[in-house]
Amino acid sequence: MSEKNPVDLSPGDSAVVIRHEEGDDAGFGIEIYHHPLTNMDEEDLIFYTLLTRGMAFQATIDTETVLEFGEESLTDGKDVSITEH
């Protein structure tokens, strides 16, 4: 996790964080975080774990398709602005 910008998750949150890597052969790194609810059952925990791992895995093995899906979601005939945090 980034020491400068920690990920602040509330109970029940999961996050896929994509970090830009610097350098001549820069790419990106993917980190997955979970903050399960204290009373979350195992089936729900497995669901969110598999969901986030699947998203990260797909992005690393077929980045071009993931980018195309992202573009389709932005160009669905609507004016969309990109939010920066």
Q: What is the mean pLDDT of each run of 10 residues along the chain (85 residues)?
A: 73 88 84 88 91 91 90 72 66
> What pLDDT score was predicted for residue 36?
85
As a whole number of angstroms, the distance between CA 57 and CA 24 comes to 24
Predicted local distance difference test score (pLDDT) of residue 19: 85
In a domain, 2, yes or no: no
Angle between helical axes of 63-74 and 42-61 (0-180°, round to 10): 100
Range of the domain at 25: 13-74
Q: In this structure, what DSSP letter does residue 21 have?
A: P
CA distance 51 to 59: 12
Cβ(32)–Cβ(14) under 8 Å? yes
**Is residue 19 in some structural domain?**
yes
What pLDDT score does 77 carry? 63
Q: Is residue 22 part of a domain?
A: yes
pLDDT tens digits, one per residue of 46-56: 999 999 999 99
pLDDT at site 76? 63
pTM: 0.68
